[in-house]
Amino acid sequence: MGAIVKFVTPEDAEILNKYLTSDGVVLVYQAMHEETEALGVENNDDVEYDFSEADILVDVVTDPDHYFMLCMHG
């Protein structure tokens, strides 16, 4: 599997860090807020969820020992 590398500016990192967690996150866009709440799920709820068919895979590189960095060294 391949991946596109995107360099993140400090301003964008601040926004992304509001949403991304190391435990995994499901982002619910505004158009789906009411339907999600109707299921009894509220913002910031911790739910059991299997990411087996995630729409997007994201890896966040924050230090030189990150797996991505090790892979790129060959």
Domain boundaries of the chain, sorted by first residue: 10-73
Stated as kind and residue range, the H or E segment containing 19 is: helix 10-19
CA atoms within 13 A on the CB side of 37: 8
Mean pLDDT of 36-63: 94
Is the pLDDT score of 1 beyond 80?
no
For residue 63, the model assigns a pLDDT of 94
For residue 35, the model assigns a pLDDT of 98
Question: Could you tell me if 8 and 16 are in contact, meaning their C-beta atoms sit under 8 angstroms apart?
Answer: yes
pLDDT in tens, 17-49: 999 998 899 999 999 999 999 999 999 999 999
For residue 27, the model assigns a pLDDT of 97
Residue 51's pLDDT band (cuts 50, 70, 90): very high
